[in-house]
Each structure stands twice: as structure tokens, then as C-alpha cells.
């Protein structure tokens, strides 16, 4: 039996992207809604990549009573632009993956930062030592914000296009180095984060030498296809703690569910196994 009275409308939310059929978010939210006995729907919404298509769709969703939406590639910057009010994290990341609709206003937030923060702190990340971040795109920007919130102060960025690493390093007062020099920073790092698409199914491999990485280090990869990337496999075999893309995905979903559906978003092994079955 549903938790609400029979007269209450079902709660509505969803995820906007292009493409979107591969998204695991509908499954995550559907499992949480079922567990909490909440009458709600969370649907995938494909929207073409331009801003006008995005804005028109979001206007319609608001008109039919959606509580909010998640936003994924290529609309995260559109969501920030569309919003009336922007959280600190959304502004810091320069992108929003959540829009919440309240009377007359759309609120933008970025729970990717929280998702990475939580997945790292669950594995004991404590801000000590030096971090090496591979990549300098949109995902790296969110990761850097989370690393700052975890109290890391010694962060080095390496990126294929050095200029992008330099730019991001300047904005967040980090160090940058050339992509070719990445192996030189492995020794002495307490955390290594891959934010590039290298190692993802269908993409080139990530070439990196972990020989000098201490087994006390935490290694994270934002990719979840494959679930265990070659980087994470090599790190696990060394005895390092690892953080995979699925852990981040589950944690970034929780704020949206709790805000729009009003139930508790429990992240446990049962949820994880349900998602792995869909990969
Ligand atoms: P996202 O928003 O997911 O971070 P992005 O902004 O396109 O996506 O960034 C992708 C990252 O993967 C970038 O750091 C990119 O390096 P460039 O800035 O030089 O493009 C990195 N990347 C993608 N393909 C790569 C490759 N073959 N070798 C090295 N880095 C690569």
C-alpha cells in the first residue's frame, strides 16, 4: 500500500540527457521508492543537446508538476544557466546535475561533488598527503571541489592538453604538470583519481605505472563501465583501497531522491548488486 493518502498525486522526477537510455538513475530511484513505499515515478527524458530544447522541456516538466530532475551530459551547464537560484557547489563546479522546482523558482545544485566526497570518505580519505588527478574536464572540476572539501591541499593536475590543466589549476590554486610526466607523481601520492574517459569500454586504455604507488593510497575512477577498470584492478591487486564510478553514482543520486520523494535513500550492497546486474 502506498504511503500517501489515495488523493495524493504520485511524485514525479526524472533525468534529462542525450543519450539517456543507458542511465542507471531510473533504476536507483525506482528501487528507493519501492523500498520506502512511496508512490512516485522517475523517468529517463531524452532532450536534444541545444539549450532551447532543454529549457522548453524543463518548462513543460514544471508545468505538469515535476518535483525536480537530474541532469546529465550534455545539459549540466544548461541547467546552471536555466536556474533562478544556484547552490555554492553548482557555482563552484560551473555545472548542475540537479534542478529542484519550488513555487516560481528553479534551484540548481551539484550532487556530483557530494557523491565523490562521500564515496571517498567512506574509504577513509582524510585530506592527508598528495593527490594526483588525471584529466581537467568537467568531471575533474567537480572532483577538485570535493577534494578541497575533504581537506586535501596538495593537489596536482595532469591533462593531455596542458593548457586546460593550467587553467583549472589557476582557478583552484592547484599544481599542474604535463600528461607525459604523470608517472613521476605516483610515488608519494596518497590518492590517485582518474577523471578521463581512458579505460572506459570502447575508449583507449589508460597507460600509467603504479609500481611506486604505496598500498596505503586510495585510487578512484569515475568510470563505471567496466565496473572495475584496469586502473582499479591494478590498484586492488597492490592492496590499495579503490573507489569506483558506481559508488559515486549511488551517492550523487541520494540528495535528489530525498528532496523530491521525501524518503530515505539507503545505499547498501543490495542496491549495488541490483545495479551491477544492469551493467
Ligand atoms: P568530462 O566532463 O567527463 O570531464 P571532458 O570535459 O570531455 O569530459 O573531459 C574528458 C577528459 O578526458 C579530458 O581531461 C581529456 O583530455 P583533453 O582535455 O586533453 O581533451 C581526457 N581525455 C580524453 N581522451 C583522452 C586521451 N586519449 N588521452 C588523454 N586524455 C584524454
204 lines ligand 1 (CB under 6 A): yes
Q: Which atom of ligand 1 is nearest to the CA of 161?
A: 19
Query: Atom 5, ligand 1: which residue's CA is nearest?
Result: 137
pLDDT > 80? residue 12: yes
| Span from the CA of 159 to the centroid of ligand 1 (angstroms) | 8
Q: Do domains 11-109+249-276 and 114-243 have the same CATH topology?
A: yes
> Does the active-site annotation cover 11?
no
- Residue with CA closest to ligand 1 atom 14: 135
Q: Is the CB of 231 under 6 A from ligand 1?
A: no
Domains of the chain, residue spans: 11-109+249-276, 114-243
Work out the pLDDT band at 7, boundaries 50, 70, 90: low
pLDDT in tens, 223-256: 999 999 999 999 999 999 999 999 999 999 999 9
pLDDT digits (tens, 9 = 90+) for 164-193: 999 999 999 999 999 999 999 999 999 999
Q: For the chain, how many residues are written?
A: 279
Q: Which residues are annotated as a binding site?
A: 23-25, 72, 97, 112, 135-139, 222, 224, 245, 252
Q: Given 1.10.1040.10, 3.40.630.30, 3.30.450.20, 3.40.50.720, which CATH number is that of 114-243?
A: 3.40.50.720
Catalytic residue (choose from 11, 56, 76, 148): 76
Q: Which residues are annotated as a binding site for NADP(+)?
A: 135-139, 222, 245
What is the CATH class of 11-109+249-276? Answer: alpha beta
Ligand 1 pocket residue status of 136, Cβ below 6 Å: yes
Q: Is the CB of 196 under 6 A from ligand 1?
A: yes
**Cα–ligand 1 centroid distance for 162 (angstroms):** 11
- Per the prediction, the chain carries an average pLDDT of 96
Indicate if ligand 1 lies below 6 Å from the C-beta of 195: yes
Ligand 1 site, residue 135, Cβ cutoff 6 A: yes
Binding residues for shikimate: 23-25, 72, 97, 112, 224, 252
Tell which one of 17, 74, 77, 137 to mutate to probe ligand 1, the residue whose CB is within 8 A of the most ligand atoms: 137
Q: Are 98 and 108 in contact (CB under 8 A)?
A: yes
Q: How far apart are CA 106 and CA 83, in angstroms?
A: 5
Among the listed residues 138, 145, 146, 175, the one whose alpha carbon sits nearest the alpha carbon of residue 158: 175
Residue 1's pLDDT band (cuts 50, 70, 90): very low
- What pLDDT digit, counting tens, does each position of 39-97 carry? 999 999 999 999 999 999 999 999 999 999 999 999 999 999 999 999 999 999 999 99
Amino acid at each position: 500500500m502506498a504511503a500517501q493518502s489515495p488523493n495524493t498525486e504520485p511524485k514525479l522526477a526524472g533525468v534529462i540527457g542525450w543519450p539517456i537510455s543507458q542511465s542507471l538513475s531510473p533504476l536507483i530511484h525506482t528501487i528507493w521508492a519501492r523500498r520506502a513505499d512511496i508512490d512516485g515515478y522517475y523517468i529517463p527524458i531524452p532532450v536534444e543537446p541545444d539549450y532551447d530544447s532543454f529549457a522548453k522541456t524543463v518548462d513543460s516538466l514544471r508545468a505538469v508538476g515535476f518535483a525536480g530532475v537530474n541532469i546529465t551530459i550534455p545539459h549540466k551547464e544548461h541547467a546552471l544557466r536555466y536556474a533562478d537560484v544556484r547552490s555554492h557547489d553548482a557555482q563552484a563546479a560551473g555545472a548542475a546535475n540537479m534542478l529542484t522546482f519550488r513555487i516560481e523558482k528553479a534551484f540548481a545544485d551539484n550532487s556530483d561533488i557530494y557523491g565523490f566526497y562521500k564515496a571517498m570518505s567512506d574509504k577513509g580519505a582524510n585530506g592527508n598527503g598528495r593527490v594526483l588527478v588525471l584529466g581537467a574536464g568537467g568531471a575533474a572540476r567537480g572532483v577538485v571541489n570535493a577534494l578541497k572539501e575533504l581537506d586535501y591541499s596538495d593537489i596536482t593536475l595532469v591533462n593531455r592538453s596542458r593548457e586546460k590543466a593550467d587553467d583549472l589549476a589557476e582557478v583552484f590554486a592547484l599544481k599542474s604538470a604535463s600528461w607525459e610526466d604523470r608517472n613521476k607523481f605516483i610515488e608519494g601520492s596518497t590518492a590517485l583519481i582518474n577523471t578521463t574517459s581512458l579505460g572506459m569500454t570502447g575508449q583507449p586504455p589508460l597507460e600509467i605505472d603504479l609500481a611506486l604507488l604505496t598500498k596505503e593510497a586510495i585510487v578512484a575512477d569515475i568510470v563505471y563501465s567496466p565496473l572495475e577498470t584496469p586502473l582499479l584492478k591494478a590498484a586492488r591487486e597492490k592492496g590499495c583501497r579503490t573507489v569506483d564510478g558506481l559508488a559515486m553514482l549511488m551517492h550523487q543520486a541520494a540528495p535528489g531522491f530525498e528532496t523530491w520523494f521525501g524518503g530515505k535513500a539507503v545505499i547498501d550492497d543490495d542496491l549495488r548488486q541490483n545495479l551491477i546486474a544492469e551493467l
